[in-house]
């Protein structure tokens, strides 16, 4: 693999990691937004 | 026919294809970013004309997923059309025909984004909106790209439905249903598409002929296309005023739609009158550019009226 190809692969890996992190954030924020205050209401 | 087939098969041959795959920016280009911006804009207008409270997080994520879904369908379109894109000057530099991304990479990218955007939209808003988004993607990628585009001069008339659906998806995302407001917005974009696209097709007809795509100017001839452009512009004029009649477009929108509609009619007549050389090219490009401005201003007026409190009802 040439240095240029290696750099391209690294950039793609970073982009995939960013997208995965964004997805986790989306699901977290969405859960809080949809449940609202009920997110704290957990019967023991 | 043979020369077209030869040039198409030659164009489909992969060029400089690295096993590592494309750049991040090339993948982004596969999503047709300019189309995505238009989709976000029209879907947002579909949301705000619904006149319901929009939960900001749910609304934003829904818009993002509608945009990703539209990008995914653009990606699948580029994957399928790589052979004809390669022979047209307007599209030859796209990532697949230019050899920067392998077709199988683009296909996988498009499928993953399509499925992902539909699922996340369903979870974020509701499954009516998700179903509509899935229908939009399939309509654009399969019905338009794989079937209509190479089969009939009515390709962009029927296929235009895919580009007209985002306001309906937007409204469905915030209300769970499809109302008359987004149906009217759908019809406006649907009727706007042929004169917009055929203006470009008139001056790119040699390109389309080279790629073997049966666009209206190539099949019915430029004069028939010009008459149809006038016809659709005449249809668009009263349709553009429908939001006023239905009560969700106020004075600002009414003036915008009225002036823009008259402008479209004037440009369509200008295109009809100028049929040779540089004046023909200028008239067609003028129509193409003005049509984009017209649609943008109509939707911007609706957005401003609903979100900035500028709505003043028109008494009829």
Q: Residue B10: what pLDDT?
A: 42
Out of A29-33, B180-184, B217-221, least confident range = A29-33
pLDDT score of B216: 97
3-state secondary structure (DSSP) of residue B22: coil
Q: Does B113 touch chain A (CB under 8 A)?
A: no
Nearest CB among B24, B57, B61 relative to A15 is that of B24
Token code pair at residue B166 = 């985002």
Selected residue with higher pLDDT from B258 and B312: B258
Q: Which two tokens stand for residue A12?
A: 């793609």
Share of chain B above pLDDT 90, in %: 90
For B281-307, how does the pLDDT look when each residue is reduced to its tens digit (9 = 90+)? 999 999 999 999 999 999 999 999 999
Q: B23 in contact with A at a CB cutoff of 8 Å?
A: yes
The Cα of B123 is separated from the nearest Cα of chain A by a number of Å equal to 9
Mark yes or no for CB contact B20/A11 under 8 Å: no
Q: Report the pLDDT value the prediction gives residue B16, as an integer from 0 to 100.
A: 52
- Residue B213's φ and ψ, nearest 5 degrees, are -95, 125
pLDDT at residue B205 in the model: 93
Burial class (CB in 10 A: 0-12, 13-18, 19+), B56: exposed
Give the span between the Cα atoms of B302 and B305, in whole angstroms.
Answer: 5
The mean per-residue pLDDT over the stretch B22-37 comes to 94
- Identify the DSSP state of A30: H
Q: Does any CB of chain A come closer than 8 Å to the CB of residue B214?
A: no
More confident residue, B54 or B21: B54
CB contact under 8 A, B20 and A1: yes
Q: Return mean pLDDT, chain B.
A: 93
Query: CB A34 to CB B58 under 8 A?
Result: yes
Nearest to B214 by CA among B4, B3, B2: B4
Domain residue spans of chain A: 3-32
Name every chain A residue with its beta carbon within 8 A of the beta carbon of B22: 8
Give residue-wise pLDDT tens across range A11-25: 999 999 999 999 999
Using a CB-CB cut-off of 8 Å, the residues of chain A touching B29 are none
**pLDDT band for position B252 (50/70/90)?**
very high
pLDDT greater than 50 at residue B239? yes
Contact A11/B24, CB-based, under 8 Å?
A: yes
Which residue, among B239, B34, B67, has the nearest Cα to B136 in the 3D structure? B67
Which helix (DSSP H) or strand (DSSP E) does residue B48 occupy?
helix B33-48
Residue B24: is its pLDDT beyond 80? yes
| Residues B187-206 pLDDT 10s | 999 999 999 999 999 999 99
**A/B interface, count of CB pairs below 8 Å:** 34
- The answer for residues whose C-beta is within 8 angstroms of residue B279's C-beta and 6 or more apart is none
Average pLDDT on B77-94 reads 95
The owner of tokens 């407001």 is: B181
Evaluate whether B226 touches B275 at the Cβ level (below 8 Å). Answer: yes
């Amino acid at each position: 693999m040439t240095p240029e190809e290696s750099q391209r692969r690294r950039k793609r890996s970073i982009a995939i990691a960013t997208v995965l992190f964004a997805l986790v954030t989306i699901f977290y924020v969405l859960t809080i937004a949809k449940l609202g205050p009920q997110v704290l209401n957990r019967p023991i | 026919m043979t020369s077209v087939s030869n040039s198409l098969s030659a164009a489909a041959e992969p060029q400089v294809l690295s096993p590592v795959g494309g750049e991040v920016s090339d993948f982004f280009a596969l999503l047709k970013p300019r189309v995505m911006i238009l989709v976000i804009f029209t879907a947002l207008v579909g949301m705000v004309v619904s006149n319901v409270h929009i939960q900001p997080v749910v609304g934003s994520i829904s818009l993002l997923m509608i945009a990703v879904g539209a990008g995914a369908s653009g990606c699948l379109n580029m994957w399928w059309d790589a052979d004809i894109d390669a022979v047209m000057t307007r599209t030859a530099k796209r990532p697949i025909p230019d050899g920067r991304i392998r077709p199988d990479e683009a296909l996988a990218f498009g499928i993953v984004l399509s499925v992902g955007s539909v699922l996340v939209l369903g979870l974020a808003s509701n499954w009516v909106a998700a179903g509509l988004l899935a229908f939009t993607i399939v309509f654009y990628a399969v019905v338009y790209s794989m079937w209509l585009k190479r089969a009939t001069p009515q390709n962009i008339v029927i296929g235009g439905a895919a580009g007209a659906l985002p306001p309906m998806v937007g409204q469905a995302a915030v209300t769970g249903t499809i109302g008359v407001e987004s149906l009217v917005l759908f019809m406006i974009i649907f009727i706007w598409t042929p004169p917009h696209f055929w203006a470009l097709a008139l001056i790119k007809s040699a390109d389309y002929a080279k790629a073997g795509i049966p666009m209206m100017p190539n099949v019915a001839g430029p004069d028939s296309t010009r008459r149809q452009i006038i016809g659709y512009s005449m249809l668009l004029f009263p349709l553009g005023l429908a939001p006023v009649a239905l009560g969700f477009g106020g004075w600002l929108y009414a003036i915008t739609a009225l002036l823009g509609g008259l402008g479209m009619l004037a440009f369509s007549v200008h295109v009809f009158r100028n049929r040779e050389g540089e004046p023909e090219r200028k008239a067609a490009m003028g129509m193409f550019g003005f049509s984009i401005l017209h649609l943008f201003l109509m939707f911007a007026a609706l957005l401003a009226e609903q979100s900035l409190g500028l709505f003043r009802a028109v008494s009829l």
